[in-house]
C-alpha cells in the first residue's frame, strides 16, 4: 500500500475515534502511538528508537520530560509533545519550546492526535521557531502535505534534507498566507504597491480606498480565469481520450433519494440538455456545459483539501448532480443548466434544496464556501 493510501486510511480511523477519546493518555495510545507506528513506520516498542517520557532537563529544573522522543543512533532527532484530542494546540507550545533547546533534537512535533505541527530552528539555532513550518490536519487532509509528511517516515528520514525543505515551506506558507489576506482584504501597502505599477497620480489615502475594491476584484477574477483555463484544458484532454459514460437512464434509487422530477419551489425545471434528449432512444446526454460545471466544482473541492477521487456525477432528467462515493444519497450540489435558465441547488441542514440562480456556469465560484461546506458534511 502506498504512503498516501496508508495516511488517508489512518485519517479516516482518526476521525471515527476522536469524539470518543476523553483524556490525553487515551489520545496517546489510540491516536499518536499508532500514527508513528502505522504511518511513519517506527517501532514504538523499541526503546532504542521510540522513547516515552524522555528526560529533557531545563536549566535548574531536573526531571522534565517530553512525552516521546525518536532516536537515531542513540541521539534524539524528534521530540513529541501530546495534548488531548479535544484541546486546541494554540498556546500549548511552551513546553516543547523549553525542551527543544536542551537536547540535540532538530525537530519538535506538537499534536493532539488530529493536528500535527512540525517545528525546527530556522530563525535561531537551537531555539525552536514560534511558528511551525508544517501543519497537518487529519480531519481536513490536503494532498499537498503528503510528500512533506513522507519525509518523516523512518525509511526516508534525512535531517539535512528535511531542514532544507522546512526553510522553503516556512517562507512559501508565509507568502501564501499573505496573498490570501490580500485576496480577502487588500492592505493599504499592497494597494499602493499595485498602484505604483499602474497609476500615475498621487497615491493618497482617498485614492487607496477608491482602488481597494478594484484591486480585490481584479485579483480574484484573474485567479478564476486561470482556473477556468486549466479546467478547459483538462476538459479538452478528457474529451480527446474518452467520452463521459453518463448516458444511462436514472437509477431507481435516484428517483426516490434525489427527488427526481420535483423541486422545492413546486415548479417544473427546464430539462438539462433538452435538445439532445429528443433522440430515438430518449437517453440522457451529458453536455459540455455540465462537464465544465463538474470540473469547476471538483477544482473548488480539490483546492480545499477534499479527496476528489470520491467525487463523481450523474445526469437526471431535471438536473445534473455532483455526488460523493457514487451515491445519490450523498449529493453535494444539483445543477440545472438550461439554455435560458441556470441554477445551483445546495442542501440545507434537513437535506432540502436551497436554489440560487446563475447567470453563467462560472458563477458557481460565487458559492465555493457553500460547496465546500456541503462536501465536508458528507466526508466528516
Per residue in 213-269, pLDDT (tens digit) is 998 888 888 887 777 777 767 666 655 554 444 433 343 334 333 333 333 333 333
pLDDT, tens digit (0-9, with 9 covering 90-100), for 139-154: 888 888 888 999 999 9
pLDDT for the residue numbered 223: 81
Give the three cell numbers for residue 160.
539535512
253 and 150 within one domain: no
225 or 2, greater pLDDT: 2
CB neighbour list of residue 270: distance below 8 Å, 6 or more residues apart: 336, 338, 339, 340, 341
**Is the sign of the CA dihedral 346, 351, 353, 354 positive or negative?**
negative
Domain boundary among 216, 237, 258: 237
331 and 253 within one domain: yes
pLDDT for the residue numbered 63: 61
Between CA 187 and CA 205 the distance in angstroms is 12
Residue 256: inside a domain: yes
222 and 159 within one domain: no
**Global confidence as pTM:** 0.57
pLDDT, tens digit (0-9, with 9 covering 90-100), for 116-132: 999 999 888 888 988 89
pLDDT, tens digit (0-9, with 9 covering 90-100), for 332-368: 999 998 888 899 999 988 778 899 999 888 889 889 9
251 and 297 within one domain: yes
Give the three cell numbers for residue 379.
466526508
Give yes or no for residue 273 having a pLDDT over 60: no
pLDDT for the residue numbered 267: 34
Residue 233: inside a domain: yes
16 and 164 within one domain: yes
Contact 134, 118 (CB under 8 A): yes
pLDDT for the residue numbered 269: 36
The percent of residues in the chain predicted with pLDDT above 70, rounded, is: 83
Domain interval for residue 372: 244-379
- Contacts of 328-334 with CB under 8 Å at 24 or more apart are 328/251, 328/253, 328/254, 328/257, 328/258, 329/253, 329/257, 330/378, 331/258, 332/297, 332/301, 332/371, 332/374, 332/375, 332/378, 333/297, 333/367, 333/371, 333/374, 334/258
257 and 231 within one domain: no
Domain count, the chain: 3
What Rg do the C-alpha atoms of the chain give, in angstroms?
26
When pLDDT is cut at 50, 70 and 90, the band that residue 74 belongs to is confident
227 and 92 within one domain: no
Provide mean pLDDT across the span 88-101.
81
Amino acid at each position: 500500500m502506498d504512503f498516501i493510501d496508508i495516511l488517508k486510511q489512518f485519517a479516516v480511523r482518526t476521525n471515527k475515534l476522536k469524539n470518543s477519546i476523553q483524556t490525553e493518555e487515551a489520545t496517546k495510545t489510540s491516536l499518536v502511538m499508532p500514527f508513528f507506528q502505522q504511518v511513519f513506520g517506527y517501532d514504538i516498542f523499541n526503546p532504542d528508537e521510540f522513547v516515552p517520557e524522555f528526560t529533557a532537563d531545563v536549566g535548574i529544573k531536573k526531571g522534565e520530560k517530553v512525552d516521546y522522543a525518536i532516536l537515531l543512533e542513540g541521539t534524539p532527532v524528534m521530540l513529541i509533545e501530546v495534548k488531548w484530542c479535544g484541546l486546541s494546540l494554540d498556546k500549548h507550545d511552551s513546553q516543547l519550546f523549553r525542551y527543544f533547546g536542551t537536547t540535540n533534537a532538530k525537530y519538535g512535533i506538537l499534536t493532539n492526535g488530529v493536528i500535527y505541527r512540525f517545528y525546527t530552528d530556522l530563525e535561531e539555532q537551537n531555539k525552536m521557531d514560534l511558528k511551525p513550518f508544517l501543519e497537518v490536519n487529519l480531519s481536513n487532509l490536503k494532498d499537498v502535505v503528503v510528500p512533506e509528511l513522507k519525509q518523516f517516515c523512518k525509511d526516508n528520514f534525512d535531517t539535512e534534507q528535511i531542514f532544507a525543505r522546512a526553510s522553503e515551506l516556512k517562507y512559501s506558507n508565509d507568502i501564501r498566507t499573505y496573498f490570501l489576506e490580500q485576496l480577502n482584504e487588500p492592505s493599504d501597502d499592497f494597494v499602493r504597491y499595485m498602484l505604483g505599477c499602474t497609476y500615475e497620480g498621487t497615491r493618497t489615502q482617498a485614492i487607496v480606498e477608491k482602488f481597494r475594491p478594484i484591486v480585490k476584484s481584479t485579483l480574484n477574477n484573474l485567479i478564476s480565469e486561470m482556473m477556468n483555463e486549466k479546467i478547459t484544458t483538462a476538459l479538452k484532454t478528457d474529451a480527446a481520450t474518452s467520452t463521459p459514460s453518463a448516458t444511462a437512464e436514472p437509477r431507481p434509487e435516484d428517483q426516490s433519494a434525489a427527488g427526481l422530477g420535483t423541486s422545492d419551489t413546486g415548479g417544473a425545471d427546464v430539462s438539462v440538455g433538452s435538445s439532445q434528449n429528443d433522440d430515438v432512444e430518449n437517453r440522457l446526454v451529458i453536455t459540455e456545459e455540465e462537464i465544465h460545471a463538474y470540473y469547476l466544482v471538483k477544482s473548488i473541492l480539490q483546492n480545499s483539501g477534499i479527496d476528489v477521487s470520491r467525487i463523481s456525477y450523474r445526469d437526471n432528467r431535471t438536473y445534473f448532480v455532483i455526488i460523493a462515493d457514487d451515491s445519490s444519497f450523498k449529493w453535494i450540489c444539483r445543477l440545472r443548466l438550461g439554455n435560458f435558465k441556470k441554477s445551483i441547488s445546495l442542501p440545507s441542514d434537513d437535506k432540502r434544496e436551497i436554489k440560487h440562480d446563475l447567470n453563467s456556469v462560472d458563477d458557481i465560484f460565487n458559492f465555493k464556501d457553500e460547496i465546500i461546506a456541503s462536501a465536508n458534511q458528507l466526508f466528516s
